[in-house]
Amino acid sequence: MWIPITLAVLVFLALAFRGLGLLAWTASAAVILIGWRLTGVAMPLAFMTTAGALIVVAAVFGIPLIRRHLVSRFIMPIFAKVLPRLGDTERVALEAGTVWWDADLFSGMPEWQKLLDFRAQPLSAEEQAFLDGPVNDFCRAIDDWEVYQQRDLSPEVWALIRKYRLFGMIIPRQYGGLGFSAIAQSRIITRISSRSITAAVTVMVPNSLGPGELLLHYGSEAQKQRYLKRLADGEEIPCFALTGPEAGSDAAATQSEGIVEKRVIDGKEVLGLRCNWKKRYITLAPVATLIGLAFRIKDPHKLIGDEEDRGITCALIPRNTPGVEIGLRHDPMGVPFHNGPIVGHDVWIPMEAVIGEMDGIGKGWRMLMESLAAGRSISLPALSVGAAQMATRICGAYATVREQFDTPIGRFEGIEEPLARIAGMTYLMTATRTLTCAALDAGEKPAVIGSIAKAYLTDSMRQVVSDAMDIRAGSAIQRGPRNSLSRAWDAVPIGITVEGANILTRSMIIYGQGAIRCHPFVQKEIDAIAHKDLKAFDLAIFGHVNLIVTRSVRAVLLALTGSHLAGAPRTEDTARYYQHLSRLSAAFTILSDTAMGTLGGSLKRREKISGRLADALAYLFLASAALKRYHDEAKTTANHALVRWSVELCLYRTQEAILGVLENLPTRPAAWLLGWLIFPLGARFRPPADRIGTRVARDILEDRQTRHDLTADVFIPAGDQPGLGMLEAALDKAVAALPVETKLRDAVRAGTLDRAPGHMLDDHGLAAGVISQEEYDRLNEARDLRDEVVQVDAYDPEKFKSMR
């Protein structure tokens, strides 16, 4: 009897592991029973009775036609009371954009080959030429220290913005724009941000959420013809007024409103809106000529329909419209990009000013949510990558050039540790940026992934720049033309705060949206109940049950076998990482479903748990991006060390996020059961080992190609320019002088020369004939330039008083 029982259990586990459900189990059980009968071996009555009962139960729950009438029609009313009802505003926010690889991670069975077969769109020849030509010209024209002193970009730089149509990267050619891909926009912003964050913010905002983006997707043809070419040429400078004193994170709560009314203008009765608003934190507002405005339309006299509240709407308002107060400036952390408030008092605009005209009334919230889904994926992640790549470039050079105790500081383990974090995080951030933009270029609008990229890349920028400041030490805290890091440090809180503060994005948006949009069944259940569709509800709810059972089996089997049962791409030398991520994806799925099932609607108020679930999903995605990058690029030793560091960090952080949820789930029996399923042998993932960090740090110190590949988007100034330009020149001289320094050190060890500091050792070596005059000159040129780049800026006291 035990043979068929054992066989049945093994079949059940195998089918569950592969994600197959009740119908497959029913068929398999029937086959086992029939097969046993055909063998002629007697079957115990108790076993036959039990097996028969199980088959009947499996048939009832596994065959949709039977299940619908015997089960689903009774439980549907119960779920209708439990599942959250979504208001229109909440539904629009949840449905914004599309789902992509995030849905695979939510499924608990990610199809890795699908990700690896996905081809990211490369830069076109024209985009590459633009990056290497006009963008570099633009960067050369910027003196970022002078921008800080003058509190604005120079007239020359503003003229280049217009000349190169940098406000029109997203605008198609037919409307006078550049029509560039998402990855081209990202790399352009990254390069500019490595030269000047002020310039990068100025350029990126019109190409993110703003009039151009909204007009392109929702404007009438007449509006496109009127505005898009002027926006692309820089004839119009746009801003978008969304945030107000009463509506920051909760932008839908705006008190800005427009009242529908008629006025007689030039003898004709015209339908329009009388608008009042107070907005703040609006980038480019002080210099904007065209204002995009989000407000709520009220129609008390029912002039355009039967409803008084017509919902959030977006409109375009010229700066010179009577009643508009604009021009004051905020001071965001001293970074001098234009930012300020806008106030409107009884501003009257015709209906033609509404984006989309009459068809656009009440559709503003959807416009904003869908546009943010794309905008978050490009601009702020690109700026974060720019800061990280610049920090990598600076620290890789500085830790080689700067010496203490006659040794480059990068050789000390205390410096190796933050160097490894800088390089590893830069690799991970760039990989995430690239994969996210690739999704956009493939036609996706990945709302959840865009939120992950925005929140986790801006937060990673904070870590990278902080580590770089520590390595530069005293020279990092003295402001001046030589110090680019201090200006990046000033800007860190801005990226973390704007376009949805990271606290909000992590604790509410990522998982709150992902749990419904990315989950295979939750949205289907909600929609089925809303439409009273029994068939759809039946398929969704029992698909959900099947998901929980099969992923639970999968999670525990993978945990017990060290992830070895999970499939992985055969050609990859990183196969174990794919297996571990598959295991954690299954664990995330059952953890997510348990949190939703036990907490219900209160989960959205349990922001600590929601935030940890967001962490788990985010690091699964970041690890996927790192593996995808490694797959697509050259398989070098340095890249292997970088992907190992990146993925091991993500595995550890995913594990810690899951443990944090388990430790804090209010329903303790469910948490204990999940703990056994997910970590039956304990939590075994660890952060990257020191030996991997040492390899990563050494590669950016010693391997010039690796350092170049990690910082491919950084603008390198001329060698006579203070800051990165001179540092690069000093590195080149230091590398050329290394063989000479080695010769002198060997002579000291051999006893041919006495130990002496710096230039004295050079003099002794020349006098003793250990080095030639040419080598002596090369060595001293390197020492002189090294001495120059470790200096910091100092000012006359009177000039200091006028500095900013």
Give the active site residues. 499
Q: Which helix (H) or strand (E) holds 749?
A: helix 724-750
Neighbours of 473 (CB within 10 A): 12
Q: How many CA atoms does the CB half-sphere of 325 hold within 13 Å?
A: 12
**Phi and psi at residue 726, to the nearest 5°:** -65, -35
Rounded Cα–Cα distance for residues 736 and 738 (Å)? 6
- What SS3 string covers 545-570? HHHHHHHHHHHHHHHHCCCCCCCCCC
The residue assigned the tokens 């951030």 is 429
**Phi and psi at residue 499, to the nearest 5°:** 55, 40
Neighbours of 382 (CB within 10 A): 29
Q: Which amino acid is located at 486 in the chain?
A: S
Enter the tokens of residue 705.
Answer: 């190609």
Enter the tokens of residue 211.
Answer: 């009039």
The answer to whether 617 and 651 have CB atoms below 8 angstroms apart is no
Q: Which amino acid is located at 626 in the chain?
A: A
Enter the tokens of residue 702.
Answer: 């010693």
**Phi and psi at residue 771, to the nearest 5°:** -125, 155
What per-residue string of b and e applies to 484-512 under the rule 16 or more CB within 10 Å gives b?
bbbbbbbbbebbbbbbbebebbbbbbbbb
Rounded Cα–Cα distance for residues 779 and 76 (Å)? 81
> Which of 322, 419, 464, 470 is closest to 701 using CA atoms?
419
Rounded Cα–Cα distance for residues 670 and 677 (Å)? 11
